[in-house]
Amino acid sequence: MNTTVHSRALLYTDWTLTEPYFDPVLLRTRETIFTIGNGYLGTRGSFEEGYPQALPATLISGVYDDVPVIYTELANCPDWLSLVIIINGERFRLDRGDILHYERQLDLHAGVLSRFVRWRSPTGKTLEFRFERFASLADRHMLGLRCQITSIDGSGRLAEPFPWKIEVQSSLNGYPENQGFDHWEQLDQGELEQGIEQGIWLQVCTRTSHIELVMAAKIAVIGTEASFQVASPPGYHTLTTTFMAAAGQTISVEKVVTVFTSQETERPVQAAQDKLLALPSYALLLKAHQQAWEAVWQHSDIVIEGDRMAQLAVRYNLFQLIISASPQNDRVSIPAKTLSGFGYRGHIFWDTEIFILPFFTLTQPAIARSLLTYRYHALEGARRKASHSRYQGAMFPWESAATGDEVTPRSSMPTDPYAEAVRIWCRDREIHLSADIAYAVWQYWQVTGDDLWLRDYGAEIILDTARFWMSRLEWHPQQTRYELCGVIGADEYHEQVPNNAFTNRMVQWHLETAVAVYEWLQRTFPNQAAVLAQRLQLTPAQLLSWQAAIAQIYIPYNAETGLIEQFEGFFQLKDIDLTDYEPRDRSIQAVLGMDETNQRQVLKQPDVLMLLYLMRGVQAAPYSHDVLQKNWDYYAPRTDSTYGSSLTSAIHAILAADLGAPAAAYQQFMQAAMVDLDDNRGNTADGIHAASAGGVWQAVVFGFGGIQLKNSGPVATPHLPPTWSRLQFKLHWHGTCHSFDFVPSDSHTPNIQGFIFDLDGVLTDTAEWHYRAWQQLADEEHLPFDRQANEALRGVSRRESLLLIVGSHAYSELELQKMMDRKNRYYVESIQTITDKDVLPGALNLLAEIRQAGIKIAIGSASKNAKTVIEKLGLADHVDAIADGYSVEHPKPAPDLFLYAAHQLGLDPAHCVVVEDAAAGIAAAIAGGMWTIGLGPADRVDSADIVLPNLMGIHLADLQTKLSR
């Protein structure tokens, strides 16, 4: 699978993500990528008009319904997007007719998704469609959609003359499905009364959880007279508007939808109608939405300068997190795939507390509080799980949904009718989650100082889960220690292990914290301490037993080697060298099988390293830099970081940054940041990788910003990637907002804003054509000339070249002129045959990366035919300016040509880098005060900042890193 090519097709600016063409192969992946939402709901980026194989979905936080095998899932809600457009009886659809132009764009700053399509129908009618949609962040029960239709041309052979009759059918589709499963019962539908004739509503109810949902919609047509009609097939309420369109006329259809469920109101039908009636115009709604986004970005944005791809990718990940969380409902949390797809069925994992929560805790604490309060409400479910397994207290389920009961499937059902079902042990054995939640509670309190929340909610979470640990710990009298056997650690490749260091140490930390919290409560809020002591049956003796357990929990650590053993016996397993399996496009578990993987020292995701990351702020041994280095050296190469788990890369990036390995840190960071934009694991169609997105924020702030959370507040030790010329973000600490702004002090870091490419020998090899033209001329004139003599002509102007060839032979000026014209004629004739196949290997890729990074490109060539060659090579669209043989008087090595190119780009020469294959060219660039990349043998271009044989396999990031050194 060639995912890289796919990613290249997306274009980035600092705030926008653009899909410049439509590829049906990427349909579902792009539906995920272009998900919009507002925390209350998420809507995948499916097309309004539909498409075969599409997977449209609107998922509302907390709207779960029962389903076999996986217990419960987020029910796909009625589709509010549906807009069928019919022009003189012909339906607009991208799988028919011709797509003349297509562009889809997500504006992260405004929270708006738009799409422009110029389409020719099968009968030859050409129209333009501009779609726009948003899920209001200002009013989370409101959704907006607009389609502007322009009739362009009816000159097709079969097309009817203007005006065209356009019909727009706008529906609320009450038959959404979850991959074939229908969760909804149709209750009722109707038209809106009170003056709005063009309004409809639909009322449905989930089959087993009995959640009632109502959507109401109205449409308005702007730009012409229109008639309205309602059709009410059950569950597919449709409002049709019809109008006539003249040539060139633009008509807008605006659809505004409200949505409520019985989770927010007892009377959703009324609420949806009332709200719809009260809404102002589409334009005002959009404005309020954009202002709400503006306000959110005020505290949540991260600014990266010098690396546009990273900038956009980081913002994209934050956008996806922001649209999955709302401060308004503390009975829901963020699913592992957010509200953007069916993967993991909307279940909630430790991904939320450990990976996602720090972003909210430190930028929007109200949302963090709401997410943690979800776990408080889920305590009853966690108590049921504990008592079911005969433990005390609260044991949080590995996968959670509405109630906090365990919803991890018992086994996965194979599609092959003869294959065995695979038992999923996580529900029974992956127990670390209770400690992970306590960790997030503690971090929230540490960062916010929200004592009242800790008193009323957090303390009970920490204390009741501590009771669970005490009943789960196993006392081993011979070794006089507490153990936890038969567990799965963070690394799920090993399914039943004794004394997983991650779990044991997290439990130890949890008990330490529980003691501290209880003592704090007794001191600060003695009444609440007494209430909890009663409710949770906490006795002084019990607290003493916690203290004892803390001292006696076994952590497999070898002080001599400095290595923490992932679990007892891990080092005895068969070793592995992951490079033996490259290249691959599957996880190691998929390659080796589950049993064999279990027998190997290979990790699905960080385990010991995860522990060292979480214990980063804990000063006590063995969590020193030296221990981190030793364990990194051991475990990082044994971690299946490409296809094992998407939870790996961001954590590895932070640790690599801590260890002073910027290249590894940056590589891992980009892998995490691009996980969905690049679909680099091949499963983005199932939904956004939310844990990775949260990890990306942590990688920037804790990794590159080097932020440590001290008692006094956040403290930074930045280690920016070499190409970053600035990093800015804000953190909230105890109600105050702290701004961080890092600019590398190292002035050698180049701020590259423009690339100037020589043409011959760099982007293409016209040197050969030049040589042949000169050779022909020289032969006709009986002048000695050969390939070797030609070497001296690299980068040299036509006149200078000729003078070198004629040497001491005497020619008049007129003769020289004629010879130059002749040579040029031979050359121009030959370059007519140039095609895009003549672009040298690697050049096209690099040009595309440079453009994507927002860096400008110019050609700086002594050739008078540079423009023709660029056009013939198909590169005209890639360059912003061309400086050629007509541009300046003094040729290279004078700097004039490159200075002219920089000027054309509007750039300071110090911000430009010249790519050249000739010594004269490098000299010219240096004289102009520019950065230089020399191609060819070192002895020819050795004065360049970087010397490369050619551009094959060269990436922008490599060049930037090398220039920084």
Binding residues for Mg(2+): 758, 760, 916-917
Minimum distance between the CB of residue 82 and ligand BGC, rounded to whole angstroms? 31
Q: Which residues pair with 714 in a beta bridge?
A: 709
Closer residue to ligand BGC (CB): 355 or 442:
355
Q: Is there a contact between 498 and 483 (Cβ–Cβ < 8 Å)? A: yes
Q: Which distant-in-sequence residues (6+ apart) come within 8 Å of 849 by Cβ?
A: 955, 956
Which residue do the tokens 């004269």 mark?
A: 920
Whole-angstrom distance, CA of residue 295 vs CA of residue 110: 11
Strand, coil or helix: what is 305? strand
Task: For ligand BGC, give the closer residue by CB, 409 or 936.
Answer: 409
Omega into 163 within 30° of 0, i.e. cis?
yes
Nearest distance in Å: CB 655, ligand BGC: 17
List 65, 107, 351, 760, catalytic entry: 760
User: CA geometry: angle at 699 spanning 698 and 703, to 5°?
Assistant: 110
Helical axes 459-472 vs 433-448, angle rounded to 10°:
150
Residue 407 beta carbon to ligand BGC: minimum distance, rounded to whole angstroms:
9
> Which residues are within 8 A (CB) of 932 and not within 5 positions of it... i.e. 6 or more apart?
913, 914, 916, 922, 925, 926, 943, 944, 945, 946
In the complex, minimum distance from the CB of residue 401 to ligand BGC, in angstroms, rounded to a whole number? 12
Q: Does 604 bind ligand BGC (CB under 6 A)?
A: yes
State yes or no: is 456 an active-site residue.
no
Closer CB to ligand BGC, residue 129 or residue 350? 350
Rg (CA), the chain: 32
With tokens 């957090």, the residue in question is 458
Nearer to ligand BGC, 521 or 650 (CB): 650
* Coil, helix or strand at residue 199: strand
CB 881 within 8 A of CB 903: no
Q: How far is the CB of 732 from ligand BGC (least distance, A)?
A: 26
What x/- string results for residues 415 through 454 when contact with ligand BGC is judged by CB under 6 A?
---------x-x----------------------------
Summarize the annotated binding site as residue ranges. 758-760, 774, 793-798, 801, 823, 861-865, 892, 916-917
Q: Which of 330, 450, 491, 758 is catalytic?
A: 758
Please state whether beta strands 16-19 and 199-206 pair in parallel, antiparallel, or not at all (unpaired): unpaired
- Identify whether the C-beta of residue 224 lies closer than 8 Å to the C-beta of residue 243: yes
Residues 641-680 that bind ligand BGC (CB under 6 A): 645, 647
Of 170, 238, 241, 408, the one binding ligand BGC (CB under 6 A) is: 408
| Order of strands across the sheet that contains 250-261 | 11-12, 16-19, 98-107, 112-120, 126-135, 142-153, 250-261, 212-222, 199-206, 184-191
* Three-state secondary-structure class, residue 6: helix
**Does residue 760 have an active-site annotation?**
yes
Shortest distance (Å) from residue 424 CB to ligand BGC: 5
The residue within the footprint of ligand BGC, chosen from 492, 565, 686, 758 (CB under 6 A), is: 492
Alpha helices in 352-432 (DSSP H): 357-363, 365-377, 379-388, 426-429
Interface size with ligand BGC, residues (CB under 6 A)? 17
Judged by CB under 6 A, the chain residues 677 through 706 that form the site for ligand BGC are 691
Nearer to ligand BGC by C-beta: 648 or 852? Answer: 648
Rounded least distance, CB 645 to ligand BGC, Å = 4
Output 674 or 926, the one with its CB closest to ligand BGC. Answer: 674
Nearer to ligand BGC, 69 or 803 (CB): 69
CB of 523 to ligand BGC, least distance (A): 36
Closer residue to ligand BGC, CB minimum distance, 104 or 604: 604
**Both tokens of residue 281?**
């115009």
3-state secondary structure of 692: helix
Residues 328-387 that bind ligand BGC (CB under 6 A): 336, 344, 349-351
Q: Does 398 bind ligand BGC (CB under 6 A)?
A: yes
CA 303: distance to chain centroid? 16
C-beta separation of 796 from 862 below 8 A: yes
CB of 569 to ligand BGC, least distance (A): 21
Nearer to ligand BGC, 399 or 464 (CB): 399
Which residues, numbered 616-645, are part of the site for ligand BGC (CB under 6 A)?
645
| Distance of closest approach, residue 427 Cβ to ligand BGC, in angstroms | 7
* Cβ-based neighbour number of residue 897 at 10 Å: 30
The three-class DSSP label of residue 340 is coil
- At a CB cut-off of 8 Å and minimum separation 6, what does 347 contact? 70, 73, 335, 336, 399, 400, 401, 407, 408
How near is the Cβ of 345 to ligand BGC at its closest, in Å? Answer: 8
Q: How far apart are the C-alpha atoms of 887 and 509, rounded to whole Å?
A: 70
CA distances from 719 to 308, 641, 653, 723, 874 (A): 18, 22, 12, 11, 40
Q: Smaller CB distance to ligand BGC: residue 29 or 753?
A: 29
| DSSP letters spanning 897-910 | HHHHHHHHHT--GG
Nearer to ligand BGC, 256 or 336 (CB): 336
The β-bridge relationship of strands 411-412 and 422-423 is: antiparallel
Output the six-digit token pair for 937: 């043998």
Residue 685, classed as helix, strand or coil, is helix
Minimum distance from residue 502 beta carbon to ligand BGC (Å): 11
Binding-site residues for substrate sit at 758-760, 774, 793-798, 801, 823, 861-865, 892
The one among 605, 775, 863, 904 contacting ligand BGC by CB under 6 A: 605
**Cis ω on the peptide bond leading into residue 937 (within 30° of 0)?**
no
**Of 798, 761, 799, 787, whose CA–CA distance to 922 is shortest?**
761
The C-alpha atoms of residue 240 and residue 219 are separated, in whole angstroms, by 9
Q: Which residue, among 876, 763, 774, 874, has the nearest Cα to 827 in the 3D structure?
A: 774
* Minimum CB distance to ligand BGC smaller for 282 or for 697: 697
Distance CA 598, CA 351 (A): 23
- Does 409 engage in binding with ligand BGC (CB under 6 A)? yes
Residues contributing to the site for ligand BGC (CB under 6 A): 336, 344, 349-351, 398-399, 408-409, 424, 426, 492, 604-605, 645, 647, 691
Positions marked catalytic: 758, 760
